[in-house]
A = this chain, B = another copy of it.
């Protein structure tokens, strides 16, 4: 059996438009995690750099650049890509290296720089993460694919445009208090409904922004974590699964198979039920995605997520806070950094390190759900505080 592993440090840049190179952003996040951990970088055995769109910046092979800049060039680092689930996938492999006995401390850092390309080009470029032959190449970029999911959900469950809008309103409200968030703008349901149509029924305010950003986490053994003396936050469960790559192949568009499987794996490893989890960071690249995620994870019964959002259950002060960070929707979505940004948020919430009103009360167990494309890749991570 794999041994226990802990998150001993996290770091992140601001999300938004950054005047930094990929290397600078990645190192800012990694150095943040090293600083929080109070770790000598030489103790890091290796790392993974999550990145999806570095080639747009003419830079592949980011691992050695990051390790060289951290002053540990001998330590190996591979890049990991699983579209928008790259960050949590890199975190999972860092965890596997430590829990599997191959390392005492591993770094996972995710980084993306998208502001160098305009948003129309970026949408086209993002479509390379779809099954390009059958989707992107036929004009089905992600707004269209998620709009298809939204329409299916509306048809099956009677979900309305107002239901979707409420997810955006909640997440924008949370991001207002997050100093690292990309979008800091209070919006109303009316604002969302009146915003520019992107792909019916999704409008501009149903979609997350393209963000630059980086986030990092250090995973270590129990011995290392105890020696460092920080909060003991254990990686209680990690799930990783997939779904049929292309939407046209699926029989049900209102659910992502990979999310269900990965959640089941993570909960089984953590020996928890979904209702034992105190709070969630869910992959809300579009508002519909948060509702689908709530239903796939079992937070809500199929078709019942919208009512929970409407009733404030998932608000910051509700029983089951979802995306207290602002989520991808408003905190921002620096693609490959996103999954590690979720870990950053969950670590800080459990450690009680979130400033002001955004700090959740008495939270011990948090779950991060990170999706690549329309579910081709899904990674679920459960962290649990032991203090």
- Residue of B at shortest CB range from A80? B78
The docked-state distance in angstroms from the alpha carbon of A245 to that of B76 is: 11
Which stretch in A9-17, A131-139, A187-195, A348-356 binds the other chain? A131-139
Q: Mark A52-94, 1 if CB is under 8 A from B, else 0.
A: 1001001111011101100001111111111100100110010
Report whether A93 and B64 are in contact in the complex, using a CB–CB cutoff of 8 Å.
Answer: no
A241: Cβ under 8 A from any B Cβ: yes
Of A214-222, A290-298, A372-380, the one contacting chain B is: A372-380
B65 close to A93 (CB less than 8 A)? no
What residue in chain B is nearest A66 (Cβ atoms)?
B245
Determine the chain B residues whose CB is within 8 A of the CB of A102 once the complex forms: 2, 96, 99-100
Closest-CB distance, A155 to chain B (whole angstroms):
24
On whether the beta carbons of B60 and A128 are closer than 8 Å, the reply is yes
Measured CB to CB, the closest approach of chain B to A114, in angstroms, equals: 14
Q: Is the CB of A240 within 8 A of B55?
A: no
How many copies altogether? 2
B23, B75, B93, B242: the one contacting A67 at CB < 8 Å is: B242
Taking the complex as formed, is A179 at the interface, i.e. its CB lies under 8 A from any CB of chain B?
no
- Please determine whether B93 and A100 come into contact, CB atoms closer than 8 angstroms: no
CA distance A81 to B102 in the complex (A): 20
A300 within 8 A of B: no
A21 within 8 A of B: yes
Contacts of A60 in B (CB 8 A): 52, 81, 83, 128-129
Contacts of A55 in B (CB 8 A): 55, 128
Cβ B64 vs Cβ A377 within 8 A = yes
CA distance A100 to B131 in the complex (A): 32
Do A61 and B73 touch (CB < 8 A)? no
Q: Which residue of B lies closest to A133 (CB)?
A: B21
Interface assignment of A244: CB less than 8 Å from any CB of chain B: yes
Interface residues on A, range: 35 or more
Kindly report which residue of chain B lies nearest to residue A75, judged by CB atoms. Answer: B242
A101 contacts partner chain B, Cβ-Cβ < 8 Å:
yes
Scan residues 230-248 of chain A and give those whose CB is less than 8 A from a CB of chain B.
240-246
With CB as the reference atom, state the residue of chain B lying closest to A99.
Answer: B100
Measured between beta carbons, the chain B residues less than 8 angstroms from A97 are 96, 100
Taking the closest CB of chain B, its distance from the CB of A73, in whole angstroms, is 4
Residue of B nearest to A95 (CB): B102
Q: List 23 A-B contacts (CB under 8 A).
A: A23-B133, A52-B60, A58-B127, A59-B128, A60-B128, A61-B81, A63-B242, A64-B131, A64-B376, A64-B377, A68-B376, A74-B241, A74-B261, A75-B242, A76-B262, A77-B82, A77-B242, A77-B377, A78-B81, A80-B81, A81-B81, A96-B100, A96-B102
For the complex with contacts A64-B376, A79-B80, A96-B102, 5 further pairs of A-B residues with Cβ separation under 8 Å are A52-B60, A59-B133, A63-B82, A76-B240, A78-B377
| 5 nearest CB pairs, A to B | A100-B100, A64-B376, A64-B245, A61-B83, A61-B129
